[in-house]
Amino acid sequence: MNFIQFLFTKTFLKQLALAMVVIVVFVFLIMFWLKFTTNHDQQIEVPNLAKLTLDKVEDKLNALDLRLEILDSANYNPAFPKFSVIEQIPAPGKFVKENRKIYIILNPSGYRKIEIPELIGKTQRQVEPFLRALGFEIGTISYRPHISDNVLEMRYKGEKLEAGTTLEITSVIDLIVGDAKDTYREEGESIDSLDIKEDILINTDEFND
């Protein structure tokens, strides 16, 4: 059997096919190894995700081979759109490796709500700083004649507030406070009027006598 005849034998064709398979596998392994070693030390710059919605964040991170992790929502920030990124870790501009997790915090849909405690009967000096510490704002302060200088009512948009009502922080609360001075003044004026009337009656009786 000469060489040309051998090229067409089943034995040679099987060996040739096996050799081609080995070459293809070898080339594939070489390409995979080159890709791995090339990207192994690659540093990716973290993009700025501020004010982006979740869909846009996912698209941006997927394109950079970075992963996403959402942390619990923070307090509402009116400077950012609802459900947009208000904070991220690592910060924009930092360099990370491929497949690194990027943590984000989303802006809630609104301010969180707080329950109004029982404050009626407490002094204005106690109530005002307490409400501000909870995140509320103090609106109009009205005074009503009363025997004490304590808070008599709290109102929100004209409606009387009861203890246990929940309001969003930054809500404006109006106060109605007792004014003991006006009460004493009115009582004093009433007493003076009675004294004057008594004096008039006494003088009239003396004149008639």
What's the CATH code of the domain at 99?
3.30.10.20
Query: What is the band of 8 on the pLDDT scale with cuts at 50, 70, 90?
Result: low
User: Please, which pLDDT band fits residue 142 given cuts at 50, 70 and 90?
Assistant: very high
Same domain assignment for residues 89 and 119: no
User: Confidence band (pLDDT; 50, 70, 90) for 37?
Assistant: low
Per the CB < 8 A criterion, the answer to whether 77 and 86 are in contact is yes
Among 27-31, 102-106, 132-136, which stretch is predicted with the lowest mean pLDDT?
Answer: 27-31
35 pLDDT exceeds 90? no
- Output the average pLDDT for the chain: 82
pLDDT at 7: 58
φ and ψ of 158, to 5 deg: 85, -10
Residue whose C-alpha is closest to residue 104's, from 121, 85, 91: 85
Amino acid code (one letter) for 113: K
Instruction: Let me know if residue 5 belongs to a domain.
Output: no
Answer with the one of 80, 106, 132 that is the final residue of a domain: 106
Question: SS3 for 64?
Answer: coil
Residue range(s) defining the domain that contains residue 178: 113-185
